[in-house]
Amino acid sequence: MRIESRVAVRFQDATASGRLDRLSHRHFHSDEASTARVSLKSRKLEEVVIAIGGNIGDRVRNFDTALRMMRSSGIQIKKHACLYETAPMHLLDQPLFLNSAVTATTSLDPHELLVALKEIERKLGRSQGSVKYGPRPIDLDIIFYGNLELSSENLRVPHPMFSGRPFVLAPLLDLLGPEVEDSRHWSLVHQVRRHWNDIGGEGCVKREGMKKVLPVGGKLLDWQERTYVMGVLNVTPDSFSDGGKFFTADKAVKQVQEMIEQGADFIDVGAQSTRPNAERLTTEEELRRIVPVLEGLKSTPDRSRVVLSVDTFDSNVARAAVELGADLINDVSGGSLDPKMLGTVAELGVPCVLMHMRGDPCTMLSEANTSYSDLPRDVARELAASIEQAEVAGVPAWKIIADPGFGFSKTADQNVELLARLDTFRSGLTQARFGVGSIPVLAGISRKAFLGQIVGCSRAEDRDNATIAAATTAILKGANVIRAHNVKAVRDGAMVADSIRKVLAS
């Protein structure tokens, strides 16, 4: 982060001796600093906010490594802001930065926390003599430590420079919810909101050379700039739309190449049918179907142009898929059908799609699983809980795409309502916190049965016109990624919808 901490911490000396008495304290509230050094076991956990930044080396990998090292240093991360790519300040001739922030709990006292963070910076290649405002592989700054106000020779909390930096304030706001009373875990909440509004709020993001990005497949996708299209490839004998068509590896690879030529941004490969009452495959059978396809795709021309997603709710299949080159895991259960899935995704370091579904494909359309008091808000609240579980498991929010689950645990009429009120779904995610309400939303409405009921088409292949209409509606209501069987048709519809959306936003 380009906040210059007033620190001259001799962390190498401190960590080498295992003692912190070389850190000189001027004051620690009204208490002596030594009284804060009690046994870690007897200390209560404090909630802290840590800003993260960096602009040299593999920026995303550095962020991932820093988060893992924080967890192993007694800093338990709970929530993540969005990920921002930002222009440098002051020294302009340097690479773009990545910036974010996290909330975490720790029993480390403030100076011990500072030492731990400086040690992580050192291990990731940051030197003590870094140029002020200059390039750095990683920068970790304590912004808040509970409600503590601290000023010592080496550390000031809250961080004295957080209020004037858009690339700091935007991630801080992501960590907040719309209700102040829900944000008592760290200090100066009102100040964060006031400073954010003073610099122009959300409008300052583009003005200040900032953009929210999704790191996937070696790319940083600016998912607010345009709509992305996810081509669907089912290597199944029984999927509702194209089951059996691409069941052999050769046919599947050929279809992928066609979708790439038609303008697909993602390719989503699935071997497990998720139509109502579909039989759950064994891990071995799912792998038997999908591995030859993934192997064949390695040599597909233009493979690097697309993000390769694998549609599975089996953690073992997810692991094998990533080892074979998959960039993204698409779990229709939101991590609920395999208790190892979220931890596996975190370990693999790939992004994921978390979809809303109650029950499983055999029970999802039961009366109990299709009963809602306020459909889009209920779906948002339940999916936000899945996102929170993923974050605690180690998946940053900036690596999550939210899917409200059209056709899953919703009746035909409920699917229409969800589409019409997709903007309410997003605002429902915001109730969890602003950052969750800002993550990409995927709409999987391609050729769905509810569209066929509206237009009177029993054959899934005849629903492409209805799909374009639904996709356009979804985009204008806030969707960022559209799943498509007919990539060319949906791509064209998305381009028109994007043009309309930009006019409406101007």
Q: List, by residue number, the catalytic residues.
A: 448, 483
Nearest Cα to Cα of residue 150 among 297, 28, 253, 325: 28
Query: Which CA distances in Å does 225 have to 102, 213, 476, 479, 505?
Result: 25, 10, 13, 12, 12
Written as one string, the DSSP assignment of 279-309 is PPPPHHHHHHHHHHHHHHHTT-TTGGGSEEE
Q: Which amino acid is at 80?
A: H
Give the distance from CA 322 to its chain's centroid: 18
**Distance, first Cα to last Cα, the chain:** 31
Nearest Cα to Cα of residue 297 among 240, 346, 235, 345: 235
- DSSP-assigned beta bridge partners for residue 214: 221
Burial class (CB in 10 A: 0-12, 13-18, 19+), 419: buried
Tell me how far apart the alpha carbons of residues 82 and 212 are, in angstroms, rounded to a whole number: 7
Query: Which CA distances in Å does 101 have to 66, 173, 248?
Result: 12, 10, 45
The two beta strands, 328-331 and 400-403, are unpaired
Q: What is the DSSP letter of 179?
A: -
Q: What are phi and psi of 221, to 5 degrees?
A: -85, 125
Q: Is 260 left (phi over 0), alpha (psi -120 to 50) or beta?
A: alpha
Q: What is the DSSP letter of 184?
A: T
The sign one gets for the Cα dihedral 113, 114, 117, 122 is negative
C-beta of residue 396 within 8 angstroms of C-beta of residue 79: no
